[in-house]
Amino acid sequence: MKTSTYLLTICILLLLFTLSAEAQWTTNGNGDVILSQTGDKVGIGFTNPTYKLEVLGEGRFTSGIDITNTNATLDFRRFHTSTSQSSIRFMRNTASAPSTYTEQGFITAFHNDLLFKAGINATSGSDVMTLEDDGDLNVNGRVTCDGATSDGNVNVIGQVTCDGLTSDGVINRTYSGAFSQVLQANGEEALFFNGDYFSWGFDANWNRWARPITIGNTLEPKTNDALVINDAREIAMVGNNSYIDWYTGANSNYASSSRSAFVGSNQVGAIFFESNLSSANIDGETGINFLCSDITRMQLDDLGYVGIGGAPDGVNRLKVFGDVCITGEMLAASDARFKKNISQLENATEKIMQLNPVDYEYRSEEFEELDFAKGKRHGFIAQEIQTVFPELVQDGQSVESTTGEQFNGKSVNYMELIPVLTKAIQEQQVIIEEQAKLIEEIQAQLK
């Protein structure tokens, strides 16, 4: 193949020699033809060549082209039309088919851009890289920087865009050193990988994001939202004494400010809320539940009623399921200025005599959620009290026993029995004193 090429070249040069009496052609004895005169030019398809070698149409070189000179140039010219282009096409054959050449790649000048194609049948393939006249470099595929004795670098002044078609566009840098600089901006490290983790900012002293961040799917953050976490993602805080801190009004002097509030977990796993400036508020639109071991232990509803050990009943501000021990005083408002329609109790003794004090035990095993006291108790039956003192009996919330019995439980205000009992004692004391006086009079008459 090489011999036939040489013969073709010699024939062309001999033809040119016959057309130009001024051309100085010589040979070097190795089959090479030399145009020895300095000013001579060769034109193929041109009658008046401008350059040393000027070819109109396509050309094929089965070996290399060597251009030796200071500021040497290899020009490819095209006629100016909307679709015209100049290309360098790279082809190769195989040992089994030495006369058959297939395309390996193209470099094409189209308008003011350079288009790069690669692979078999590259002419009809997609551009793998485009260098535009404004300096933008568009890569369709993967950019890999592999440094051997030094770092592999891609230096870009402008914008880097990766657009994957059937797969993701990737910029990859392979490096085995202690720190792998992945991305620079204005000469400063912006993203690095140390073999274990990624960080924004070299050596990761601190990181800064100027725009809101979404972790999860493509949910766009709302106005004033700095971080959105969605798609069932979680935040894990690992280690002792982990905190989320607030610094109120500390934009200008944040570094020297003390935190105004924080939520944290200490070394024994306790969770706490603390405000160093004011009160700490917990707000639930329909109520607040306090749990221990995933069990609700206290509830506060939206009307301010509290239930300990169970739900509030909406009647009593505080309802406790179980016993209550008070080491201080239990007080009730009793100022005369708070009261109206004041009247004296009458016939307290008669009413007290209608009461039926009893001993009893609660059916605690059938009403476990009510956490009744165990063992023998002393008291009254609410239904019996209600016939005498209906104002001391209160209907509570609906309850259900383990056997399916449902009803609204009744409660007795034992505290308000105290003034009734006091009045009954006073009435009895009057009787006692009257009887004592009568006895004295009878004894005096008997003397």
> Structure tokens of 13?
């040069």
pLDDT digits (tens, 9 = 90+) for 223-235: 888 888 888 788 8
- 12 versus 433: the higher-pLDDT residue is 433
pLDDT at 447 exceeding the cut of 70: yes
pLDDT value at position 148?
43
pLDDT digits (tens, 9 = 90+) for 387-423: 999 999 999 888 999 999 999 999 999 999 999 999 9
pLDDT value at position 207?
66
pLDDT value at position 233?
81
pLDDT value at position 149?
43
- 45 versus 131: the higher-pLDDT residue is 131
Band (pLDDT 50/70/90 cuts) for residue 70 is low
pLDDT digits (tens, 9 = 90+) for 338-384: 999 999 999 999 999 999 999 999 999 999 888 899 999 999 999 99
Band (pLDDT 50/70/90 cuts) for residue 214 is confident
Find out whether 83 and 109 touch, Cβ atoms under 8 Å: no
Count CA atoms closer than 13 A to 218's CA, side-chain side: 0
Average pLDDT of span 5-32: 56
Task: Give CA–CA dist 360/381, Å, rounded.
Answer: 9
Task: Give CA–CA dist 104/79, Å, rounded.
Answer: 25
pLDDT at 1 exceeding the cut of 60: no
Rg (CA), the chain: 50
pLDDT at 7 exceeding the cut of 90: no
Q: Was domain 340-447 assigned CATH 1.10.260.40? A: no
Which helix (H) or strand (E) segment is 215 a member of?
Answer: strand 213-215
Band (pLDDT 50/70/90 cuts) for residue 298 is very high
pLDDT at 166 exceeding the cut of 60: no
Determine what percent of the chain falls in helix, strand and coil, rounding each to the nearest 5: 20, 30, 55
Average pLDDT of span 290-314: 91
Find out whether 87 and 107 touch, Cβ atoms under 8 Å: yes
pLDDT digits (tens, 9 = 90+) for 243-293: 888 888 766 677 778 888 888 888 787 888 888 888 888 889 999 999 888
Task: Give CA–CA dist 136/144, Å, rounded.
Answer: 18
pLDDT digits (tens, 9 = 90+) for 116-147: 887 766 566 666 778 887 777 777 766 665 54
Tokens 């609906």 found at: 398
Which helix (H) or strand (E) segment is 174 a member of?
Answer: strand 170-174
Angstrom CA distances, 279 to 213, 260, 272, 276, stand at 31, 11, 14, 8
Whether the pTM exceeds 0.85: the reply is: no
Task: Give CA–CA dist 113/162, Å, rounded.
Answer: 18
**182: number of Cβ within 10 Å:** 18
Region(s) of the chain under CATH 1.10.10.10: 340-447
pLDDT value at position 47?
72
Band (pLDDT 50/70/90 cuts) for residue 440 is very high
Mean pLDDT over each residue of the chain, to the nearest integer: 78
